[in-house]
C-alpha cells in the first residue's frame, strides 16, 4: 500500500480521537476527586497527554509543509502584537499557567509573515521549553539587524558572551525543531540555538517590512 499524505493525515486524525476522550475523562476525574494526591497523578497524565498531542500537531504541520499543500500569505505584521496574541492563544489552549512568558519585543518592529504559521512557530518553540518541565520563565525579545532582518529571541535570558552558537542540525530528528526550521526558512529567514550550560535560547530571523 502506498502511504500518501492523505493517509498520514487520516492516521493523525485517528490518533487524536481517543486522545480527546482521554482528556475528557481526566477533566471529569479532576472535578470529582478533590484529594490533592489524586490530582497530582491526574496532572502527570494530562502533561503526558499534552506532550503527545503536541507531537501529533507538529507532525500534521510537517506533512503539509513537506507536500507543499500550504499557501503562505506573507503580509506586514506588527511583531509584538503577533507574539502577544500567539502566546495568549497558546496559554489558553494548553492551560500553561505555571509558566511566565515575558514579552520584550520592540513595538516598532514589523515583519513579513504568514500569521497562522507564525503562531504555529511560537507555539512549537515555547512548547519545547514547557515540555522540559524544568523552566518557569521564558523571555521573548527582538532586535533589528543591519541586513533588513528582524531577529526574534525565544528562551532563557543568558549571558551572550558565554553562549555557544550552533545552527540547528544535530537535532534534525526532532519534529519540533524540524518544523521550526521549515517555517522560518519558508519566510526567508534562519534559526540558531544558543546554549549556556542548561539554558538555551532560539534566535530566528524574519524579513523586515517597511
Span 35-49, pLDDT tens digits: 666 677 777 777 777
What are the Cα distances from residue 152, in Å, to 7, 89, 155, 176, 208? Answer: 36, 19, 10, 17, 11
pLDDT at 34 over 90: no
The yes-or-no verdict on residue 83 having pLDDT over 90 is yes
Asked if the model's pLDDT at residue 180 lies above 60, the reply is yes
Looking at the predicted structure, is the pLDDT value of residue 162 above 50? no
pLDDT at 94: 62
SS3 for the chain, per residue?
Answer: CCCCHHHHHHHHHHHHHHHHHHHHHHHHHHHHCCCHHHHHHHHHHHHHHHHHHHHHHHHHHHHHHHCCCCCCCCEEEEHHHHHHHHHHHHHHHHCCCCCEEEEECCCCCEEEECHHHHHHHHHHHHHHHHHHCCCCEEEEEEEECCCCEEEEEEECCCCHHHCEEEECCCCCCCHHHHHHHHHHHHCCCCEEEEEECCEEEEEEEEEECC
What average pLDDT does the chain have?
Answer: 77
Residue 126 in this model has a pLDDT that exceeds 80: yes
Where do we find the cell 502511504? 3
Report which of residues 136 and 74 the model is more confident about.
Answer: 74
Distances from the Cα of 201 to the Cα of 30, 57, 151, 160, 191, angstroms: 35, 23, 12, 10, 11
Give the pLDDT score at 19.
Answer: 76
What is the mean pLDDT of the segment spanning 181-201? 82
Indicate if the pLDDT at residue 193 is higher than 60.
yes
pLDDT-above-70 percentage for the chain: 75
Most confident among 15-24, 95-104, 110-119 (mean pLDDT): 110-119
Which of 9-13, 35-39, 87-91, 204-208 is predicted most confidently? 204-208
Amino acid at each position: 500500500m502506498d502511504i500518501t499524505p492523505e493517509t498520514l493525515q487520516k492516521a493523525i486524525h485517528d490518533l487524536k480521537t481517543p486522545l480527546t476522550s482521554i482528556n475528557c475523562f481526566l477533566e471529569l476525574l479532576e472535578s470529582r476527586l478533590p484529594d490533592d494526591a489524586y490530582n497530582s497523578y491526574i496532572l502527570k497524565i494530562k502533561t503526558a497527554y499534552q506532550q503527545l498531542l503536541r507531537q501529533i500537531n507538529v507532525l500534521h504541520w510537517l506533512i503539509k509543509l513537506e507536500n507543499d499543500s500550504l499557501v503562505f500569505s506573507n503580509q506586514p505584521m506588527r511583531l509584538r502584537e503577533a507574539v502577544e496574541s500567539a502566546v495568549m492563544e497558546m496559554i489558553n489552549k494548553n492551560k500553561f499557567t505555571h509558566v511566565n512568558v515575558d514579552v520584550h519585543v520592540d513595538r516598532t518592529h514589523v515583519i513579513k509573515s504568514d500569521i497562522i504559521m507564525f503562531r504555529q512557530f511560537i507555539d512549537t518553540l515555547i512548547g519545547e521549553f514547557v515540555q522540559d518541565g524544568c523552566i518557569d520563565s521564558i523571555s521573548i525579545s527582538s532586535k533589528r539587524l543591519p541586513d533588513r532582518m528582524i531577529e526574534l529571541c525565544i528562551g532563557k535570558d543568558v549571558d551572550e558572551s558565554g553562549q555557544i552558537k550552533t545552527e540547528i542540525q544535530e537535532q534534525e530528528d526532532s519534529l519540533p525543531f524540524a518544523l521550526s526550521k521549515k517555517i522560518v526558512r519558508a519566510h526567508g529567514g534562519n534559526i540558531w540555538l544558543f546554549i549556556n550550560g542548561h539554558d538555551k535560547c532560539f534566535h530566528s530571523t524574519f524579513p523586515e517590512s517597511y
